Amino acid sequence: MAETANPKFLRPLSAPDEDLGQALSFGPENPLMLDEGRKLSPFTIAYKTYGELNAAKSNAILVCHALTGDQFAASRHPVTGKPGWWDFTVGPGKAIDTNRFFVICTNVLGGCMGTTGPAETDPATGKPYGLSFPLVTIRDMVRAQAMLLDALGIDELLCVTGGSMGGMQVLQWAASYPDRVISAIPIATGARHSAQNIAFNEVGRQAIMADPDWRGGAYQGAGTQPSKGLAVARMAAHITYLSQPALQRKFGRSLQNREAISFGFGADFQIESYLRHQGLTFVDRFDANSYLYITRAMDYFDLAADYDGVLARAFRGSKTRFCIISFSSDWLFPPPENKTIAHALNAAAANVSFVEIESDRGHDAFLLEEPAMFATVRGFLNVVAASRGVD
């Protein structure tokens, strides 16, 4: 293992002098066993921490990011210069209070912000992995995180939390390492990817792979970028993160900097301009192959499948305390999907509370300023911390 101060990023940095977090590289003596059968070695996990680990190492909280997130949960994104993706929730005095807790956030396996993924160089060939990178699963991502925590000497997590794909990692943590997880807050997530969600992911992948600049995944060597395909993928996905009522409220049929429709194919409507912007800015910070790999990991996630199809068995005998949070207008992971997890935990006689928060902001609500979510997370962590003697 080798610790480096800063991970390598694929993209130009907006503020190169900032604290870019750490990276831990695992050599041949520490291969990562993958679900698909092979070992990944060497590999690197890039991560960022917030707050201080206490002497008892009892105040660590692992925050898991969603599809296009990264380790910059609560600090400026080094490429875009924007606030961290969970800046509303994590920080000094916030719901996940970094004055009290030591927060760790890793870039997932297969990602493109310093952790090994398809855009990294394959040491065996000296070329970028591209499609020769092995397919990774949510369990592989979690296994890599566990290896990082081992290396950091953190045996126990006071809490594991995250939304969407982050929530999948939370569930996998609770199932794979029940003794290490004191509490878990899966948010806006599911124990398996639904047919509709697989369908949307497949549309995104087909959009990327239809772009001739993708070049069978070997675009880095060719000096191209499947930017158009990746932008279309992002646009389609972005719609699923919002909600019909919120889109209507925010955009409706308002026109973009014009008095009347243009009778053409420009961005007449604000919603079109907004979506195009989402697509264009995304390609500046994300790798297209990473998008393929991570969406596939989500599709493959089906926690019950590892337990004879009975989700409750994934949590049998668990002492972890669970707090499940869902949002009423989330149609990517609708409340019933979240409730299914609560039912399974009930069936396993686990300690679980379930909260459905009224919001018209759709799936993305978990990333936004949602006071009811903050109050829920804060209250739950207070109880858990008190039960473990964490100040």
Taking the C-alpha atoms of residue 381 and residue 338, their distance in angstroms, rounded to an integer, is 20
Q: Would you count residue 266 as binding a second copy (CB under 8 A)?
A: no
SS3 51: coil
Q: Which of 48, 65, 139, 193 binds a second copy (CB under 8 A)?
A: 193
Burial of 30 (0-12, 13-18, 19+ CB in 10 A): middle
Q: Which of 2, 56, 131, 222 binds a second copy (CB under 8 A)?
A: 131
Q: Which of 66, 182, 275, 314 binds a second copy (CB under 8 A)?
A: 275
Taking the C-alpha atoms of residue 172 and residue 269, their distance in angstroms, rounded to an integer, is 41
Q: Would you count residue 339 as binding a second copy (CB under 8 A)?
A: no
Q: Which of 156, 166, 50, 179 is nearest to 390 (CA)?
A: 156
Q: Which of 257, 265, 389, 391 binds a second copy (CB under 8 A)?
A: 265
Q: Is 91 left (phi over 0), alpha (psi -120 to 50) or beta?
A: left
Q: Would you count residue 132 as binding a second copy (CB under 8 A)?
A: no
Q: Which of 231, 227, 236 is nearest to 200 (CA)?
A: 236
Q: Would you count residue 264 as binding a second copy (CB under 8 A)?
A: yes
- Residue partners of 206: CB distance under 8 A and separation at least 6: none
Q: Which lies closer to a second copy via its Cβ, residue 156 or residue 272?
A: 272
Six token digits for residue 83: 């606030």
Q: Would you count residue 194 as binding a second copy (CB under 8 A)?
A: yes
- Residue corresponding to tokens 């669970």: 322
Q: Which lies closer to a second copy via its Cβ, residue 36 or residue 179?
A: 36
Q: Would you count residue 307 as binding a second copy (CB under 8 A)?
A: no
Q: Would you count residue 206 as binding a second copy (CB under 8 A)?
A: yes
Q: Which of 30, 251, 307, 346 binds a second copy (CB under 8 A)?
A: 251
Q: Would you count residue 222 as binding a second copy (CB under 8 A)?
A: no
Long-range contacts of 235-240 (CB under 8 A, 24+ apart): 235/275, 235/276, 235/278, 235/279, 236/200, 236/203, 236/204, 236/207, 237/67, 237/200, 237/201, 237/204, 238/275, 238/278, 238/279, 239/275, 240/197, 240/200, 240/331, 240/332, 240/363
Q: Which of 228, 285, 321, 361 binds a second copy (CB under 8 A)?
A: 228
Among 101-109, 175-183, 229-237, 374-382, which window interacts with a second copy (CB under 8 A)?
229-237
Q: 30-69 mask for a second copy (x: CB under 8 A)?
A: -----xx---------------------------------
Q: Which phi and psi angles does 161 have, rounded to 5°?
A: -145, 160
Taking the C-alpha atoms of residue 273 and residue 256, their distance in angstroms, rounded to an integer, is 7
Taking the C-alpha atoms of residue 278 and residue 199, their distance in angstroms, rounded to an integer, is 20
Q: Which lies closer to a second copy via its Cβ, residue 100 or residue 192?
A: 192
Q: Which lies closer to a second copy via its Cβ, residue 297 or residue 323?
A: 297
Q: Which of 134, 186, 190, 335 binds a second copy (CB under 8 A)?
A: 134
Let me know: does 112 contact 230? Beta carbons within 8 Å. Answer: no
Taking the C-alpha atoms of residue 5 and residue 7, their distance in angstroms, rounded to an integer, is 7
Among 119-127, 161-169, 268-276, 344-352, which window interacts with a second copy (CB under 8 A)?
268-276
Q: How is residue 29 annotated by DSSP?
A: T
Q: Would you count residue 312 as binding a second copy (CB under 8 A)?
A: no
Q: How many Å from the N-terminal Cα to the C-terminal Cα in the chain?
A: 33
Q: Which of 10, 13, 151, 209 binds a second copy (CB under 8 A)?
A: 209
Q: Would you count residue 210 as binding a second copy (CB under 8 A)?
A: yes
Among 1-9, 65-73, 264-272, 376-384, which window interacts with a second copy (CB under 8 A)?
264-272
Among 57-65, 93-101, 142-150, 226-234, which window interacts with a second copy (CB under 8 A)?
226-234
- 3 to each of 25, 44, 151, 174, 374, how far by Cα in Å? 6, 9, 10, 27, 34
Q: Catalytic site residues?
A: 164, 330, 363
Residues that bind a second copy in the complex, under the rule CB under 8 A = 35-36, 131, 134-135, 192-196, 198-200, 202-203, 205-207, 209-212, 228-229, 231-232, 235-236, 239, 242, 244, 247-248, 250-253, 261, 263-265, 267-269, 271-272, 275-276, 279, 292, 296, 299-300, 302, 331, 334
